[in-house]
Structure 1
Amino acid sequence: MCGRAGRKGKDDAGETYLICIKADLEAVCNLLDADMPAIESCLAPEKRGLKRALLEAIATGLVSGGEAIKDYVRCTLLYRTLDKKLVYNIMNSALQELINESLIIFKEDESYEASLLGQAVVASAFSPEDGLFVHEELKRALQAFVMDGDMHIFYMFTPFQVAMQTPIDWPIFRDQLDRLDESGLRALQFVGVQPGFVNTMVQSGASLKENTPAQQNQARIYRRAYTAFQLRDLSNEVPLSTIAARYHIPRGTVQTLAQQCHGFAAGIVKFCQRMNWGMMAAVLDHMRDRLEAGARADLLEMAQVTFVKSWTARCLRENGFRNLRALAEADPKDLVPVLMMVNPRKTQKNQLYPTEAERYAAKLLVKAETIVASAKREMHVEIEE
């Protein structure tokens, strides 16, 4: 709302009302009186942004020759805020790193071209560092993907950003490892999780060290594995509040995971497609449906229907509407009692007032008609395919 209070060139002034509790009043006043922080380029060396920007510019064909790359760099805020020689040194260092990591190729005509790996990284919207990590993990998965369970796929689909911001509760980590079946444990051991190391962290109470590249890589693996448990629970229809309580994290963190995993999974699949790993892309793409539905495999078909999320699909299945055909052939009036079960608290509240009860039932009937119509459309699509 603050950002909408006034726009340069549109208004002369803007008003903002900031509401806070008394305990935060001093902090809010300090914030209002504080100086504006200086604008910094996201391409600065410590943020390693120029490396990604150059890879994307080369991979998309925006630039290729040395002079074109310099022209591109001269258009950045980084060039305007730092010494010009320093910026060119950063540029040359970034280009050399991209060459060393086989993300770009320096051709005989002294132009640059993205390698197949570089194109895959850009197409999947990963940073160079994340792309290289994904590449190594997928290469190993190609040799021995654990397909007699889901844990390997949940790990692969766990977004880096959420995982790196989620603190590990080591006793909970150990408890979840102990509950895994043989397939799940084998999948996590394959990616680099060692139960013995987890036990050591529980007993010592220590934190993960992230000083060296090897330690950072190890931390990334363990954080992703820990977050993969949460992603597994989401796909198994465990409520957000239960997951938040189980892992001692805010509910908003679980919601962020639920939102970001779809885009990250799409990036992983796109990466495999660009690398011409068709079989791996097909396996991973199949699991994306479960992520989007937030449901077990038996509900995927119904979860494609409008208004039918995982809990609604489970209620429908348990009350006789076991598949898409049953929904398509149903009388909307027969769905209304089931839809009332989906939100019993709201149903009970409306039952207290006859007028409200009628209005609520009418609203659910419209919803039921939409569900039946959507199911019929889905059935038609399946028949055509």
Structure 2
Amino acid sequence: LVSGESIVICGASVWPQLQTVLRGGLAAARSALRRGAQGPGGPPSGALSGLLLSGVALRLACTRARMRDFLACTLLAVTGDDCCSPSDINSILDETLRSLLQSGAIEVVRGDRGQATRGEGDTSHVAVQECRVYNDTQLAVSALGSAAIKACMDLTAAEQFLVDLDQASKSLVVMGSLHLLYLVTPQDAASIKPDYAHYYSLYSALDEEGIQTAKVLGITEQNAIRMMTGKPITNVSEKVLCRFYLAMMLHDLWKQVPFPAVAHKYNLPRGTVQSVLSSASSAAVSGARLCAALESRWAGAALLAELAPRLQHAAAPELMQLMDLPNVKKARALQLSRAGYKRVEDVARAAVDDLTAAVAHLSRTAAAQLVSAARMILIEKVENLRAEAEDVMDELNS
């Protein structure tokens, strides 16, 4: 143990409040693997599903018995709350295992005769339809579970994304990017309340792409009028309405509308706009990885591949070219742009001394490397164009 003194300095006005805090004691430690607010008998938490899925993928807990031992080493088993007894842990494990089997995230390893492996004298089991998982039954991660792990997505979020993608694939609007942006809007969009009184004016300003996308989602002009007048809407869920509202906002950012103008147009704080943009960018990256890991969803990977980079630089698209330079992140690209070096060609033509003087905290060595890298990029482009021109001339002469 480490001993020492802790000194708190505060004003006289906050001293009574500080005393209350110091005398109040510490809150009980609760494991994130605990079940949600529904209590015993409720659905297993997403954190516990993710933990068991990772355990099976890493071969740390590939049987029901090993899973039980695995959970016994977690905070859930030692916190001393109402879900820590061995019987409760077993119940939680079986519920979560059943959920993973039903979702198809994990699967039973079949024996030589196509039967699930079972140890001698093993009678305790988890039954899912015609499948029985005993204590020694070997489990493995399915293609869906492996794809969710590679995409760094929660299993529930991955399933919902694939459902949305399947629905969109039946009538995908490819006139622009709005429908794809809707797919990567945050799933918890209902927590961000749009200005329903302003919804009709936004709907009226939509172009043909926006109207077709709204129509595919079930949003019509009558819905927008009912929102404006405060009447309830029963044929479209609130989640769809909120996500489409955010998709329209992302579409404006996609079209390089400045952040302050977008925040004012949609009556949202700038911090919320930035948070939604970051969440959508992460969802696009994860969605592309998820589709790439599933052979049947290769088309989704192709559609989402270019979406994430554009979203990441939606607020500053002019920086994307500069960020192609090695070791140039957004902050350094912004410095170069403000100093007048807005293109790779500008950096390639720059003198090292001028570049060092124009950009703060840029050493001469780093400046020389930037100029050299920019010139190499231009030389490579020239060589590629020359090769293409020679191929065209050869075809014309043949």
- State the TM-score, normalized to the length of structure 2: 0.69
Verify: 1:116 aligned to 2:143, yes or no: yes
Number of the residue aligned with 2:191: 165
Change (3 A) 1:380 1:117: farther
Number of the residue aligned with 2:30: 40
Residue 376 of structure 1 and its aligned partner are, at CA, apart by 3.5
**How far apart in 2 are the matches of 1:379 and 1:11?**
62
Number of the residue aligned with 1:86: 88
Q: Which residue identity does 2:275 align to in structure 1?
A: T
Number of the residue aligned with 2:100: 98
Could you list the runs of 5+ residues in structure 1 that have no partner in the other structure?
A: 1-8, 337-359
**How far apart in 2 are the matches of 1:233 and 1:27?**
46
Q: Deviations over 1:70-121 (max 9, x none)?
A: 1111112222232221221111111111222222223412222222112222
What SS does the aligned partner of 1:160 have?
A: coil
**How far apart in 2 are the matches of 1:311 and 1:180?**
33
Q: Which has the larger radius of gyration?
A: 2
Q: Identity over aligned residues, as a percent?
A: 21
Could you list the runs of 5+ residues in structure 2 that have no partner in the other structure?
A: 37-43, 110-115, 118-136, 385-398
Verify: 1:12 aligned to 2:4, yes or no: yes
**How far apart in 1 are the matches of 2:381 and 2:2?**
51
Question: Do the aligned partners of 2:200 and 2:227 also contact (CA within 8 Å) in 1?
Answer: no
What SS does the aligned partner of 2:243 have?
A: helix
**How far apart in 2 are the matches of 1:188 and 1:30?**
53
1:67 to 48, 65, 68: 65
Number of the residue aligned with 2:257: 238
Residue 152 of structure 1 and its aligned partner are, at CA, apart by 1.5
Question: Do the aligned partners of 2:278 and 2:312 also contact (CA within 8 Å) in 1?
Answer: no
- State the TM-score, normalized to the length of structure 1: 0.71
What SS does the aligned partner of 2:321 have?
A: helix
**How far apart in 2 are the matches of 1:113 and 1:307?**
40
- The Cα RMSD (Å) is 4.1
Question: Do the aligned partners of 2:179 and 2:213 also contact (CA within 8 Å) in 1?
Answer: yes
**How far apart in 2 are the matches of 1:28 and 1:300?**
49
Change (3 A) 1:111 1:247: same
Number of the residue aligned with 1:223: 242
**How far apart in 1 are the matches of 2:211 and 2:316?**
20
Residue 249 of structure 1 and its aligned partner are, at CA, apart by 2.6
Verify: 1:376 aligned to 2:396, yes or no: no
**How far apart in 2 are the matches of 1:374 and 1:202?**
55
Residue 269 of structure 1 and its aligned partner are, at CA, apart by 0.8
Change (3 A) 1:361 1:203: same
Question: Do the aligned partners of 1:332 and 1:365 also contact (CA within 8 Å) in 2?
Answer: no
Q: Which residue identity does 1:172 align to in structure 2?
A: H
Verify: 1:247 aligned to 2:273, yes or no: no
**How far apart in 2 are the matches of 1:29 and 1:232?**
50
**Would you tell me which structure has more helix in proportion to its own residues?**
1
**How far apart in 1 are the matches of 2:359 and 2:91?**
68
Q: Which residue identity does 2:103 align to in structure 1?
A: E
Question: Do the aligned partners of 1:236 and 1:295 also contact (CA within 8 Å) in 2?
Answer: no
Change (3 A) 1:88 1:201: farther
**How far apart in 2 are the matches of 1:193 and 1:140?**
15
What SS does the aligned partner of 2:152 have?
A: coil
Highest RCO, 1 vs 2 (Cα 8 Å, sep ≥ 6): 1
Question: Do the aligned partners of 1:52 and 1:128 also contact (CA within 8 Å) in 2?
Answer: yes
Alignment of 1:277-316 (within 5 A): 277-294=297-314, 300-302=320-322, 304=324, 306=328
Residue 290 of structure 1 and its aligned partner are, at CA, apart by 1.0
Number of the residue aligned with 1:271: 290
Q: Which residue identity does 2:89 align to in structure 1?
A: V
Number of the residue aligned with 1:174: 200
